[in-house]
Structure 1
């Protein structure tokens, strides 16, 4: 069974906003007014914030989608400086190491052919073979980096409005399935509150002006 993702620190402000929106719902306000000696708005808010992770689990799937899109959008823009330096090093290292290896092996071979005395010919040849190995390994790393870059470019990054839509869907699910049911359960345990659940305020679609003049529910 997949565990719900824990609420990230940067998303706790959105959770608090959902709690405030729930506390402003008509049935919550009416229940609090009907029991002035009981729970207060501050009590309900503190309780919901203390149970943030548990309440956020009720909207785990929309939150997982939102985190995935947000992470993909952030990975698409690498930080400056290092982002351009590393690919350049990956390409230049094999070239420099290969060129140096060829030069050292050539000089060492010439000295050996000339029957030069001393350890210099052997040292040049050993250094040349070492650089040849470095060139081969760095070439494989550069190839893997190029393939990875090509694959990432083929993937279409999520647009900012997609990420924002996923955030709004998550906040609505958090309100409908996590925060509001919890607050209503707390108030229902006090008979004096006499809570009557109503449709929650929609965070995605504002209520049209005509709804303030009659009792017709807001709809798209």
Structure 2
């Protein structure tokens, strides 16, 4: 289970929070969850409550956490500065060289490490092309074979220089990596590692254990205090106009009620007239 978003904690510190939470649950529930049967909440319920209140719990160890973050940030910055300094020094030695013997040796080695593969490769290409071009001529000149031999020699020198350069880069990377700061506990400087342990101890004693004890004493209150789910996105507001009611002129002039129809009273000349007299 992953921890819900806690604004005080960085993403890289959330696994530490869950690790301390597991330790607190072992203390509260006993070894192998031996006390789970007699408690109102089981381990999974307690874990869910603690994760949902991670920001409130972590704020109880805020001072130790801020100190840990400051030291860790400073240590990482020191490592980056040292790496940039080494790269700048190596570049200055290789490009310009220095007056003292050690600096001159380092600069000469850097220059040779760069130029040797290039020069040897170019010489190998020239000698091989000329040697094999002469080998196509009949009769073959006597110098063709020595040129080919020299070309393969310089090709071997170029390959060996490239291999040695790769080994040197690998050794340099391993040496620099051994002094770099890693996220693993063993890779932290002593002062950062001590600050990390102090934060985790404060988080356990002042944050998680009191929270779990309160949750066991009053589960209903602990559940009610958990952050509510995020509200749904608001609906679009109703605009201040309505659909117009279109009607034809005939509809506007005519009454709403349906007209009544009656059949006409037809009469013949023999019936119903005023001048009709019976025979």
TM-score interval, smaller chain = 0.3 to 0.5
- Greater RCO structure (CA 8 Å; 6+ sep): 1
Normalising by the residue count of structure 1, what TM-score does the alignment of the two structures yield? 0.46
